Amino acid sequence: MKIIKQINILLKNPETKDFLADAFYSDTDKKLPLVIFVHGYKGYKDWGSWNMMAKKFAEAGFFFVKFNFSHNGTTTENPHNFDDLEAFGNNNYSKELSDLNFVVDYFIKNPKIDGQKVVLIGHSRGGGISIIKTCEDERINGLITLASVDTLDRFPNPENLEKWKQDGAYYVENGRTKQQMPHYYQFFEDFKNNEHLFDVERSMEMAKAHVLIIHGTKDESVNVKHAEHLHILNPNSELYLIENANHTFGAKEPWEENQLPEKLNEVAEKCIDFINDKIVNDCRSL
């Protein structure tokens, strides 16, 4: 079956700023489950082998969407590079939640979408954002976390917070591009002002969706204990550990192979089976 790719769809979120999304889906008259992929910290929609993963989901019968957060540092003119470090520095969780809500609102209206079957897949920090969104939005009936954090309280030690406030920014080097990427103090202020909303643990406990937690046992960025904790918080969830998988399940940027990394392919197949079993073939209300 022919796969349709809509690349760099311009989305205009009045609460943040313009950003881009992609949609991959099969050419069919059948209404399709909506699967939205949420990238993580220093991530973007075209990183590594995400495009190959998108195609695999589309071939499996899903309407697969991936997008750039409006303040992830990429631009609408250059979505593959961190050309706007000022935007990156001004990013915060409120903006990411606003963007994700805009994406759900935008695509759920598409006539090709089955609005009763909506799934979020969040990677790393995007997992934390997806957990919060799932808790607050009853339209989301499936949640999959990939190498997700179990808290969004991931800031400098208290003794360094005062220096951050005084300096106005602290910088993190991008290991791949070697850019010094800023974090302005407003990021922490936004978190503290909305700490109850950004409580990933509470959101995971309260989530009513079907939940699958996937993590690699050799994750160098987010320890596998985060996944185990999320599973304890939501005992109805399914925990799926992939032996010796790293934070990106074998993918890297650039990805120059013509197929998915073995472990990321395992991730995709597990996700597809889970969605078919829990969302597509189970029509009972949650």
pLDDT tens string 228-255? 999 999 999 999 999 999 999 999 999 9
**279, 263, 136, 150: which is closest to 208 by C-alpha?**
136
The helix/strand/coil state of 256 is coil
Check residue 282 and give its pLDDT.
Answer: 74
CB atoms < 10 A from the CB of 190, how many?
Answer: 18
Residue environment code for 57-77, b if the CB has 16+ CB neighbours within 10 A, otherwise e? bbebbbbbbbbbbbbbbbbbe
Cα(first)–Cα(last) distance of the chain, in Å?
32
Check residue 81 and give its pLDDT.
Answer: 96
73, two tokens: 């540092």
The count of C-alpha atoms lying within 13 angstroms of the C-alpha of 168, restricted to the half-sphere facing its C-beta, is 2
Mean pLDDT taken over the chain: 96
Query: How far is the C-alpha of 281 from the C-alpha of 275, rounded, in Å?
Result: 8
Check residue 285 and give its pLDDT.
Answer: 41
Check residue 284 and give its pLDDT.
Answer: 45
Contact 226, 149 (CB under 8 A): yes
254, two tokens: 């650039």
* Sign of the torsion formed by the C-alpha atoms of 44, 155, 246 and 133: negative
Check residue 283 and give its pLDDT.
Answer: 52
Query: How far is the C-alpha of 276 from the C-alpha of 270, rounded, in Å?
Result: 10
Query: How far is the C-alpha of 24 from the C-alpha of 185, rounded, in Å?
Result: 37
Query: How far is the C-alpha of 266 from the C-alpha of 196, rounded, in Å?
Result: 35
Domains and their CATH numbers in the chain? 3-153+201-280 (3.40.50.1820)
129, two tokens: 């954002």
Q: For residue 161, what are the contacts with CB-CB under 8 A and spacing of at least 6?
A: 155, 188
Query: How far is the C-alpha of 87 from the C-alpha of 285, rounded, in Å?
Result: 40
Contact 272, 240 (CB under 8 A): no
Contact 90, 186 (CB under 8 A): yes
Q: What is the pLDDT along the chain (286 residues), one digit of tens a residue?
A: 899 999 999 999 999 999 999 999 999 999 999 999 999 999 999 999 999 999 999 999 999 999 999 999 999 999 999 999 999 999 999 999 999 999 999 999 999 999 999 999 999 999 999 999 999 999 999 999 999 999 999 998 888 999 999 999 999 999 999 999 999 999 999 999 999 999 999 999 999 999 999 999 999 999 999 999 999 999 999 999 999 999 999 999 999 999 999 999 999 999 999 999 999 997 544 4
Residue whose pair of structure tokens reads 């311009």 in the numeric block: 10
Check residue 165 and give its pLDDT.
Answer: 96
C-alpha distances in angstroms, 233 versus 38, 142, 152, 237, 265? 21, 17, 15, 9, 27
Query: How far is the C-alpha of 92 from the C-alpha of 87, rounded, in Å?
Result: 10
